[in-house]
Structure 1
């Protein structure tokens, strides 16, 4: 609902939304102030408290309260680099984040503060569970940050490495965000690619006269790989995209070498052992065994799927009178095309037709309604003059960062007590310089302040769906509906979390659990009743759209809701080429482990990273790359996919397996609790209060066991994939 129609109890949020009025100067100034305030808090604690007098309340609490305040501003300061249209503002945001990271490293390596925390730790005070967890994590954090290393050259080197790794991560991501390459193609080379897409591309002049510029951004890249009939076009696109950020190649290599050195200084065998120790898996062996078991189970399925796809490719080339192109191989750049063709032919899955039933705005409204019913929430979109009233400056434009941004106040519904929950923002369309994937960003965490009052969270979904035009709304393909549900799942986790400390808020869980709640919610996109209720044919949205639909299509206007046969075709395709999809994920996960658990430091220095990436991809996914072409026989250096793999530099290092392991947890939760009745509000609320509300304030395995009533099992996951023993 929107704010002008909202019932009285949902009109006045108890906390104003954040402001987005920064300038490049204010970002840097505010960052300096935040850092100075934080440093003063630490200095004061260190100056006034002796180890003998150290208690949780005197040492950790003031710093935790400062952390809470810091997060209220710092997340937004760093957020501008992902969403601002102003390059200077993005650069300042990146610089501010670098300053904060640097300060974070300095703060986490203060020996004087560590000595006090160590003293509190040794006293073993009786604390509430969340405070006890804070003490444990902080104490361990100092040790993981090198304070167990005696002062001297080794500790200095450790600090230097941490600083350099932080710089690498920022520059690597910036290179990816600002990458603006692409390829020029003629109309003939783009045969098969949707015409309205090609028409929206930049048109060439001079030597590129008559050509169209395809960028590497997903809304251009994926449809080209899916629909271009010309295999040479697809190959050029695929290989160029794997090589799109050459400046990241050296940065990636430097990062894995420095991580290894840092882990060894701390006394770990390698970086993977260091990273996995405090996750749910605990040891690299657990991860390696899980991935190896999965690979063994998936490999035969992958082989069968390739045989079918290769037969389809051969049939397709024959139909087009192009048998001479058939060399009996199935290539990486064939996969999106023939995967799509198989769905079109064997399952009559017409993605464009399905997309007509999922206009972006009604789909979002439908999703929010599902979350309202399941979790006991109410979403109120804040529009028009209500934005002015809510804004502390009286200007509604100050509470969003871009005119396309939608903002909602989120409330508990009556059954949950009508309280205010937080703010949700949606920023859905691509633009220059914007973060290129779909992600959820926490803008402000929730926590309890020093007066015992709650601060409420604000969270943003940043996506890149196609923009509406005067004649057609933005339409979502089914996989984009799944993506939106997934990211909104993170957003809900972020909103309903209620922790004492911002440190544990929302999605601040261990990395091999964080995806599970969102992955579980994806199941609603594969449930017939939910697909039906989410759907709404775009021609019913307005008289203008109805007229434009009639203009552009022959025959009768379709039904308002998606027909059952289309739903059946979607559901039937859920596991088509699933083994290949999971083998692709497995390639990422096993490459991640390969570069992070070398036998020795010398081994990681000698590692041929690009070759390892490409060779492992072939061995695991079984698809051929350019190394199988006659002119490149056996050459594994054709691409640098790792240089475009932001996850491994942005926090998923020795953690990418988490996507697969959390899939195990999410399938287990869905099968055990929701499969029989996905809209069961009693279970939905139990899930909200048992799993989502706690964020990372408890051991995640304990949360999971409490919700399931037993230890998690891989059975449901393998059953869902059709590969159970």
Structure 2
């Protein structure tokens, strides 16, 4: 049972009882209600239009609508029922189409425009909402005279919505894989192979390897046979080829739409509202970083080539070394280098990070740092809180954990919201790691606060009878990062859902989570997060001692200092290659969204451009040596560029500038400084997008942000 003071949250958690019929019916009801609000606004005389009878009414409607609409759209990412996923997709399309229609209602815009011109004295967040909404109508085509051009713009917006939904659905439901014999998978951990589907009939004696991350990445890291790694790499790059024409159509339509609005290209349109403000700032940043990183990348490749040559020679395969370092070589030889030069065995390290204990450790860090308390809800606690009386209704799958989140004594013991963890892969589920807002927080029309609910959706390996789910260190970082988004979502305190939590500009949104990744490289925190899985149960201890690599003597309970030191020494090993990979994504994004003319994007060979840029920027060879530049279609798996990061992927790198500055300036000396943690919570996280993000940064840092810490961290200062 939860402690007494945490047993009665002032708000019940949402329930997940949607059916294929209800989600569509509920969506139509929400749309009808919103349309009624808009029609009421239109009944206001232009001379009488002010904030309170225009934008405020729509904001309050958005607040209430989001309590249902986010969950309706969420089912497509997590439901095991395909018909419900399909209905969720259909409902999202209805909402998107309505959103486009609403954003292009000239009669509503006229009232908003009149309210802006009134020049009322509003609180800062309301003023920001008024200005953003007003500009939003213009950016949605209402600055274009009524007629064929505006009609075409609207048609494009609707088609782009369809493309986005179909593209993501293809990614979510991708269920391809390859059959291999155990001999072909020599080097891959046996317990991983044992967890895969075992073949029958024509696949007798084989196992099926999917393209899900818990299967794909370890195989690329450990499979000794380069032909198997190549086959897997090429297949993974071609796993969603139905998306190839959709991606092409999307970038062409975006360019056309931007030009209708009077912009030079889609990048200029998108970046105008971000911290960078103009494409040149982004291009200069990416170009400078590329020129600084390229020499280091080439040096790293030369060292890795030497390792590859030595490795092949040790296996009597000297003749197979052709002087190239390939895409499918990198995870394998990067891992081998860490083991050889740094005595770093990621399998051994993962034994100290069982998923459940790592999560508890992370939550404890956030409790200390931000003044929070996490209370897991199980059994009767769930039943008591569920509005249906059935605890199973407050989750969407039996694997999901749910926590009520509270302020601690020092922060006043108030309720904060609900946190959900959905951590293992399953068919039809979103395939990466992400944080989804389920219900935002905001101030309700009666003046009381509505509390948020947020979900982490990840794909970590499932436990087996012999081992719990064990996290590689990079998975620990991923979990911490996504949980960082979740905390941002939980502690945000804005008036309007529009600005809640991670609803910031895209080139800032990653910074808070990226900053928190630093705790995964801090010795004291790594120690506190760790617990060797053999201490979790007698069965796990017995299984550990039966492992070929096991022994009768049990390891220390927490990760040894020597392993921590070895891990931290590797933080920047092959770092240039890692960041060149990110640069490839960012520069490809800008390339397809910043053509010099519409004809250029129409003529662009997009897959060839993607592969050529990867070779030029990341310096890694691919199958193009034999098969030409069209060998793969990585852009068809690139959900970010269709799902909101278009002309914005650079934000992952530019956010690192801000995150490094915040960490080194404030937390480096004492990462668990609760006073600074709470100041960060109240100054940065609580604000969400309710004010200019640069002001948020400057308020916290006490000055304008600097690139110095970022380049110093990369060894490029």
Residues 399-438 of structure 1: pairs in structure 2 closer than 5 A: 399-438=394-433
Give 3-state SS (helix, strand or coil) of 1:668's partner: helix
Output one character per residue of 1:391-423: Cα deviation in whole Å (capped at 9) or x when no partner: 111110011101111000000000000000000
Q: 1:705 aligns with which of 674, 698, 704?
A: 698
State how far apart, in whole Å, the 2-side matches of 1:390 and 1:208 are.
48
Does residue 518 of structure 1 match 2:513? yes
State how far apart, in whole Å, the 2-side matches of 1:376 and 1:218 are.
34
Q: 1:684 aligns with which of 677, 699, 702?
A: 677
Look up the match of 1:294: 289
Shift of residue 549, structure 1, vs aligned partner: 2.2
Q: 1:317 aligns with which of 305, 312, 315?
A: 312
State how far apart, in whole Å, the 2-side matches of 1:558 and 1:212 are.
32
Residues 237-636 of structure 1: pairs in structure 2 closer than 5 A: 237-552=232-547, 553-628=550-625, 631-632=626-627, 635-636=628-629
Output one character per residue of 1:546-588: Cα deviation in whole Å (capped at 9) or x when no partner: 2332333224100111100000111011000000000000000
Moved more, 643-652 or 539-548: 539-548
Look up the match of 1:41: 37
Does residue 60 of structure 1 match 2:55? yes
Look up the match of 2:10: 14
State how far apart, in whole Å, the 2-side matches of 1:333 and 1:261 are.
37
Give 3-state SS (helix, strand or coil) of 2:524's partner: helix
Output one character per residue of 1:505-551: Cα deviation in whole Å (capped at 9) or x when no partner: 00000000000000000000000000011111111112332233233
State how far apart, in whole Å, the 1-side matches of 2:630 and 2:245 are.
14
State how far apart, in whole Å, the 2-side matches of 1:717 and 1:78 are.
37
Give 3-state SS (helix, strand or coil) of 1:512's partner: helix
State how far apart, in whole Å, the 1-side matches of 2:575 and 2:76 are.
35
Give 3-state SS (helix, strand or coil) of 1:313's partner: helix
Look up the match of 2:19: 23
State how far apart, in whole Å, the 2-side matches of 1:352 and 1:44 are.
62
Q: 1:229 aligns with which of 219, 224, 233?
A: 224
Shift of residue 719, structure 1, vs aligned partner: 0.3
State how far apart, in whole Å, the 2-side matches of 1:445 and 1:547 are.
46
State how far apart, in whole Å, the 2-side matches of 1:432 and 1:277 are.
39
**Structure 1, unpaired ranges of 5+:** none
**Structure 2, unpaired ranges of 5+:** none
Shift of residue 67, structure 1, vs aligned partner: 0.4
Instruction: Tell me the TM-score normalised to structure 1 length.
Output: 0.98
State how far apart, in whole Å, the 2-side matches of 1:206 and 1:397 are.
39
State how far apart, in whole Å, the 2-side matches of 1:338 and 1:548 are.
30
Shift of residue 216, structure 1, vs aligned partner: 0.8
Look up the match of 1:213: 208
Look up the match of 1:663: 656
Look up the match of 1:163: 158
State how far apart, in whole Å, the 2-side matches of 1:417 and 1:354 are.
39
Give 3-state SS (helix, strand or coil) of 1:410's partner: strand
The number of equivalent residue pairs is: 715
State how far apart, in whole Å, the 2-side matches of 1:626 and 1:468 are.
36
State how far apart, in whole Å, the 2-side matches of 1:638 and 1:131 are.
51
Moved more, 537-546 or 512-521: 537-546
Moved over 4 A (4+): none
Q: RMSD value over aligned CA atoms?
A: 0.8
State how far apart, in whole Å, the 2-side matches of 1:270 and 1:24 are.
39
